[in-house]
């Protein structure tokens, strides 16, 4: 479970105080190093300059993050001055060295000052608990829409409440805010009181209500009116309940996805810890690696969506590390975002050319860091999903689900736990396509996919094997229990009311179950479940058979 916002806030404040204490302890050493430069006979002046340059580079990148932006700006100026010294063959003259020392001594005043800002919470942490069941509120004057959706949503476990009067709606939302509001659009202009209710529901920053609208006509004008109300969906009467349920599942699935994982590689321990806390405060999961040589271990165990990589680290630069990451095909698609106080645009471009995807200049505000990382992770996850997920159902594709089954077989062999493989197929599906068209057939397939995702566990493997066939793997589950679960899903699916061409109809499926033999391959186990599915079809369909 992620830490609470209050706990993260306390950690951020404690980290800021630790940083200030470390700065006060380090400054005498920095001043002493700068004083050594006044010795005109010093043979190692270049080593001293390089050491100081690294110290000020680190300070330039971290001070602003901990509420001391002026210190960071001055440190950057000193770093650039030292960088210029390295181009001098004989080193700077005594006057230039004295001026530099004076600047360092003046800067020491910043090191004992209090931070200008204290960390503030950014976002509410995301809750790991998730359900694919929604609280749906229907507002319709005639009440028929509410009755229809109540019946249609029941197999999916959604709770539907219907209101016909504005006063009833106001009282209902005051008691419990719905996940989804389905509004039957009136013929005339919406009353101001209804607009106020909608505005309050949709303006909730933490978890706004999703608005669907239902109307009798489809036109640009009607669509525009719905958009201006804040709707994310418009459905024509008579309402296709399966289409609404499909849209609900897609919205809820966005909340179900695991938290984004961010790997932070930075040798500055305190700064990396600050980044970790900010990223976790924004609802993501973060892991820190301070030693670049341990980075590959962090990758294998963590499977990040994004890698935040410091450019300047001792012994190994960020671009060098990025190129090492790209040696492995499995990490080619993971975005690498460089973090550095480097302001030279050419050096930034050089870093990006070497295996990077983006460049963030330190210091960066906490909110900018969180938003940048979140956007990158979201895009990376979407691209990864496109590669492994079926576009219609969102389930694992054929090759991927077979690969996952193979992984589960290996896991079951190690743990000596039972594993059940299921082959599932819609009954008489060709008739649905022939009679109602492939678009309606797609709705049937999507509804079954949604039902499977809702009724099964997160640990279960669910894939679209092909066409109207599905492949499931149920770990740590007995054959008897698996049959009970599949029979329950079968009954729920049979109860879903579909409609096409103003005609209602139902669909069913058959399934074959087999206890996995860990001495056999994935294909051999699938074949045994497929034989049981064939038996279910032979015995009359709409049933579950065991191998």
Q: Determine which of 181-190, 459-468, 505-514 has the lowest per-residue pLDDT on average.
A: 181-190
Through-space distance between the first and last CA atoms of the chain, rounded to whole angstroms = 39
Q: Which of 79, 245, 342, 468 is catalytic?
A: 468
Q: Determine which of 16-30, 216-230, 408-422, 431-445 has the lowest per-residue pLDDT on average.
A: 16-30
Can you give the pLDDT at residue 413? Answer: 93
pLDDT in tens, 462-496: 999 999 999 999 999 999 999 999 999 999 999 98
Can you give the pLDDT at residue 42? Answer: 62
Q: Are 547 and 534 in contact (CB under 8 A)?
A: no
Tell me: pLDDT of 96 over 50: yes
Tell me: pLDDT of 116 over 70: no
Can you give the pLDDT at residue 129? Answer: 35
pLDDT category at 144 given cuts 50, 70, 90 is confident
Q: Which residues contact 390 (CB under 8 A, 6 or more apart)?
A: 396, 397, 463, 464
Torsion over CA: 307, 310, 311, 314 (sign):
negative
Can you give the pLDDT at residue 193? Answer: 87
pLDDT category at 383 given cuts 50, 70, 90 is confident
**Class of the domain covering 135-256:** alpha beta
Q: Are 214 and 182 in contact (CB under 8 A)?
A: yes
Can you give the pLDDT at residue 385? Answer: 73
CATH superfamily label, 398-546: Reverse transcriptase/Diguanylate cyclase domain (3.30.70.270)
Helix (H) or strand (E) holding 100: helix 94-111
Q: DSSP character for 396? A: B
272 pairs with which residues across the strands? Answer: none
Can you give the pLDDT at residue 58? Answer: 80
Q: What pTM did the predictor assign?
A: 0.59
- What's the rounded Cα separation, in Å, for the pair 375 and 377? 6
Mean pLDDT of the chain: 84
545 pairs with which residues across the strands? Answer: 512
- Residue (of 324, 318, 374, 315) closest to 341 by Cα position: 318
Which phi and psi angles does 289 have, rounded to 5°?
-125, 115
Structure tokens at 39: 């010795």
Helix (H) or strand (E) holding 500: strand 498-500
* In the chain, domain spans: 5-111, 135-256, 261-388, 398-546
pLDDT in tens, 392-414: 888 999 999 999 999 999 999 99
SS3 154: helix
- 182-196, 313-327, 441-455: which is most confident: 441-455
**CA 485-242-538 angle, 5° bins:** 45
Can you give the pLDDT at residue 464? Answer: 95
Torsion over CA: 124, 127, 130, 133 (sign):
negative
Domains 5-111 and 398-546 in one fold: no
pLDDT in tens, 193-243: 888 888 888 887 667 889 999 988 888 988 998 899 999 889 988 787 777
Exposed e or buried b for every residue in 177-190, given b needs 16+ CB within 10 A? bbbbbbbbbeeeee
With a pLDDT cut of 70, the percent of the chain lying above it is 91
**CA 195-161-144 angle, 5° bins:** 85
Pairing of strands 544-546, 509-515: parallel
Identify the architecture of domain 5-111 in CATH. Up-down Bundle (1.20)
Can you give the pLDDT at residue 520? Answer: 93
Structure tokens at 189: 């202009």
How confident is the model over 31-46, as a mean pLDDT? Answer: 77
Q: Are 288 and 264 in contact (CB under 8 A)?
A: yes
Is domain 261-388 annotated with CATH 3.40.50.1100?
no
How confident is the model over 58-69, as a mean pLDDT? Answer: 80
Q: Are 395 and 449 in contact (CB under 8 A)?
A: yes
Tell me: pLDDT of 122 over 70: no
pLDDT in tens, 349-361: 776 777 778 888 7
Q: How many CA atoms lie within 13 A of 253 on its CB side?
A: 17
Tell me: pLDDT of 429 over 90: yes
Can you give the pLDDT at residue 128? Answer: 35
Q: Determine which of 80-89, 247-256, 376-385, 521-530 has the lowest per-residue pLDDT on average.
A: 247-256
Residue 167: active-site member: no
- Residue (of 425, 423, 445) closest to 433 by Cα position: 445
Name the burial class of residue 4, with classes exposed (0-12), middle (13-18) and buried (19+) by CB atoms within 10 angstroms of its CB.
Answer: exposed
Residue 328: how many other CB atoms lie within 10 Å: 12
Give alpha helix (H) positions in 393-499: 398-415, 429-436, 438-455, 479-494
């Amino acid at each position: 479970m992620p830490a609470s916002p209050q706990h993260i806030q306390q950690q951020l404040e404690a980290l800021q105080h630790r940083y200030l204490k470390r700065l006060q302890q380090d400054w005498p050493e920095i001043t002493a190093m700068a004083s050594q430069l006044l010795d005109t006979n010093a043979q190692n002046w270049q080593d001293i300059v390089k050491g100081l340059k690294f110290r000020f580079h680190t300070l330039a990148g971290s001070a602003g993050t901990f509420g001391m932006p002026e210190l960071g700006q001055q440190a950057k100026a000193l770093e650039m001055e030292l960088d210029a010294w390295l181009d001098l063959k004989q080193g700077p003259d005594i006057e230039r060295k004295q001026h530099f020392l004076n600047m360092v001594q003046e800067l020491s005043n910043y090191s004992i000052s209090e931070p200008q800002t204290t960390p503030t919470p950014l976002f509410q942490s995301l809750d790991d608990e998730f359900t694919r069941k929604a609280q749906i509120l229907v507002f319709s004057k005639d009440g028929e829409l509410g009755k229809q959706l109540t019946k249609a949503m029941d197999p999916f476990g959604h709770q539907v409440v219907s209101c016909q009067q504005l006063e009833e709606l106001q009282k209902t939302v005051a008691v419990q805010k719905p996940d989804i509001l389905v509004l039957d659009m009136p013929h005339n202009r919406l009353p101001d009181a209804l607009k106020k209710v909608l505005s309050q529901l949709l303006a909730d920053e933490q978890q706004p209500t999703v608005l669907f609208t239902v109307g009798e006509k489809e036109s640009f004008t009607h669509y525009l009116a719905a958009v201006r109300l804040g709707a994310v969906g418009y459905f024509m009467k008579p309402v296709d309940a399966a289409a609404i349920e499909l849209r609900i599942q897609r919205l809820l699935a966005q909340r179900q996805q695991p938290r984004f994982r961010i790997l932070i590689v930075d040798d500055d321990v305190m700064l990396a810890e600050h980044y970790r806390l900010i990223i976790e405060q924004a609802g993501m999961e973060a892991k820190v690696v301070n030693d670049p040589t341990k980075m590959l271990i962090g990758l294998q165990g963590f499977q990040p969506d994004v890698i935040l990589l410091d450019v300047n680290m001792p012994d190994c630069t960020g671009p060098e590390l990025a190129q090492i990451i790209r040696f492995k095909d499995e990490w080619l698609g993971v975005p690498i975002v460089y973090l550095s106080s480097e302001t030279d645009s050419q050096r930034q471009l050089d870093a990006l050319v070497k295996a990077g995807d983006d460049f963030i200049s330190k210091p960066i505000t906490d909110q900018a860091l969180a938003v940048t990382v979140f956007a990158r992770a979201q895009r990376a996850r979407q691209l990864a999903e496109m590669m492994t997920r079926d576009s219609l159902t969102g389930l694992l594709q054929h090759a991927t689900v077979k690969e996952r089954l193979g992984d589960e077989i290996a896991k079951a062999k190690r743990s000596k736990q039972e594993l059940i493989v299921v082959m599932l197929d819609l009954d008489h599906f060709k008739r649905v396509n022939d009679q109602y068209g492939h678009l309606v057939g797609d709705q049937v397939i999507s509804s079954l996919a949604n039902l499977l995702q809702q009724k099964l566990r997160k640990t279960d493997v669910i894939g679209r094997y092909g066409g109207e066939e599905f492949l499931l793997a149920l770990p740590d589950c007995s054959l008897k229990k698996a049959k009970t679960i599949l029979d329950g899903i079968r009954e729920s699916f049979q109860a879903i009311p579909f409609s096409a061409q103003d005609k209602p109809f139902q669909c069913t499926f058959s399934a074959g179950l087999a206890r996995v033999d860990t001495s056999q391959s994935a294909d051999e186990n699938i074949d045994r479940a497929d034989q049981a599915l064939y038996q279910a079809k032979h015995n009359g369909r709409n049933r579950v058979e065991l191998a």
